[in-house]
Amino acid sequence: MKNLDLEVHHITRVEGHGNIYVNVKKGVIERCEWAVPEAPRFFEAMVLGRQWNELHHITSRICGICSIGHTLASLKATEAAMGIPLSEQDLKLRKLALHAENMQSHVLHLGYLVLPDLMGAGSVIPLAASNPQEVKIVIRLHRLANEMSNMICGRTTHPQRLIPGGFAKLPTMKELTKLRARLKDCVPDLQAVAGLFKKLAPKLPDFTRETEFIALTKKDEYALYDGDLASTDTGKAPVSEYLSYANEYIVPISTAKRAKHVRDSYMVGALARFNLNFDKLSPMAKQAAALFDLKPVCHNPFMNSIAQLVETVHSVGDSIRLIDDIEASGLQSQPDYHKPDIKVKAGRGIGAVEVPRGILFHDYTYNQKGACTKANCIIPTNQNHANIELDMKALLPKILDKTEKEIELNLEMLVRAYDPCISCSTHYVTVHFV
């Protein structure tokens, strides 16, 4: 009977650092835990007393990789609190911004973090020498997504143009047209990446554990920028009920909070969105899913990476459609240094946005002077922690007959599949056997 003591120290990055602890004695699992020792940053306290037109700037800094998503969730919360309107054109441009970030983040995860596991490498660095063509394609897609963020938001990380009520500066129609041509041209690159993952997909563990999936949903589109709450267990609800979905709780081993709904855990992210909103995907994205035989409801967390690939294809197609729309209605220009005329008032507002790693909530209360008096931010990775640990507990007994090294790799791959805050997560990792 097997004895195993495994400590994967600082595995992942969930806004930083995560550890895996496993103790097995004579074949009996005594401990299997996922802990986050990251230094807490206290954003919900830091924003108290700050002005309504600064909140998005501050909370963008929660996460470098999904700073556009945090900015948008923050702006939506502030706009809801004060009843600030947004034009149809600005709405389309914000959707483009979100697509750009999702593409950038998904490509980074797939190409730089997941691919090395599937190709038996420690990182993308040796792959640059052994598989230069594949790596160059990944870089090209990543660059396109970043240049798109730059064009729409004025920066790839911690965007500047996104402000309450609209945009401080707009892209030109010429820039958008050029972007559209490049998006059309990237389809062969997408096909090449899909083909590569198709070849490697048999290396993704065949593991399922039934769980609940939560994501935004919308009648007429694949919900990313807004929608209602949806659960594979309980159906639809308005976003105002988010607190009864994301019941946050604290465990002593982690500085990151966890969340649960009707089960002991739930999952958010690309796979949750795919499972809830499959029928709203573009035809090309559905074709990509079919290539992997990915169908809703899929309970294999390792397929989250494939769902990200499907979403990347969707984002390219939907971005082309959005630019067509903007062109058809004619891009309305605005004065330089645009600052929407906003009447500050007291109130509470909730902003929910689907960011690369799942549903994100910002909830602010403002006083009459426009100062923030209460804030709550629930980030996707925190909603996934409990699900990650329960997956580990379910996966471990099934792989106990493997070598220590394979067990470790499988557990790491599981964490990585969730793409816990990227930049963060997951390929890192020093492992200590104790």
Interaction site with other proteins (CB under 8 A): 10, 13, 15-16, 39-42, 44-48, 50-51, 54, 57-58, 61-65, 67, 108, 112-113, 116, 122-125, 128, 136, 139, 142-143, 146, 154-158, 160-161, 163, 167-169, 250, 252, 255, 336-339, 421-425, 427-430
User: Least distance to other proteins from the beta carbon of 257, Å?
Assistant: 8
User: Least distance to other proteins from the beta carbon of 425, Å?
Assistant: 8
Closest CB to other proteins among residues 150, 177: 150
User: Least distance to other proteins from the beta carbon of 70, Å?
Assistant: 9
Contacts of 374 (CB under 8 A, 6+ apart): 48, 348, 363, 364, 365
User: Least distance to other proteins from the beta carbon of 106, Å?
Assistant: 13
**At how many degrees (to 10) do helices 404-417 and 380-399 cross?**
150
Closest CB to other proteins among residues 63, 350: 63
User: Least distance to other proteins from the beta carbon of 323, Å?
Assistant: 20
Q: Which helix (H) or strand (E) holds 21?
A: strand 19-25
Closest CB to other proteins among residues 17, 95: 17
> Would you give the distance in Å from CA 111 to the centre of its chain?
15
| End-to-end Cα distance, the chain | 18
User: Least distance to other proteins from the beta carbon of 131, Å?
Assistant: 13
Closest CB to other proteins among residues 250, 328: 250
Residue 184 burial (CB count, 10 A): 11
User: Least distance to other proteins from the beta carbon of 317, Å?
Assistant: 23
User: Least distance to other proteins from the beta carbon of 149, Å?
Assistant: 10
Closest CB to other proteins among residues 102, 425: 425
- Provide the sign of the torsion angle of the four alpha carbons 270, 273, 278, 279, taken in this order: negative
**Identity of residue 368:** Q
Coil, strand or helix at 214: strand
Label each residue of 360-390 as H, E or C: EEEEEEECCCCEEEEEEEECHHHHHHHHHHH
Closest CB to other proteins among residues 39, 328: 39
d(CA 66, CA 359): 12
Closest CB to other proteins among residues 146, 319: 146
Closest CB to other proteins among residues 220, 249: 249
Closest CB to other proteins among residues 139, 344: 139
- Is residue 392 within 8 Å of 32, Cβ to Cβ? yes
DSSP tag of 204: S
User: Least distance to other proteins from the beta carbon of 101, Å?
Assistant: 12
**Identity of residue 347:** G
- Is residue 26 within 8 Å of 4, Cβ to Cβ? no
Tokens encoding 239: 């976003």
DSSP tag of 210: -
Closest CB to other proteins among residues 72, 230: 72
If you write DSSP's letter for every residue of 215-283 in order, what string do you get? EEE-SSS--SS--EEEETTTEEE-GGGHHHHSEEE--TT-SS-EEESSSS-EE-SHHHHHHHHGGGS-H
User: Least distance to other proteins from the beta carbon of 104, Å?
Assistant: 9
Instruction: Provide the b/e sequence for 241-269 (b: ≥16 CB within 10 Å).
Output: ebeebbeeeebeebbbbbbbbeeebbbbb
Closest CB to other proteins among residues 186, 421: 421
d(CA 76, CA 351): 5
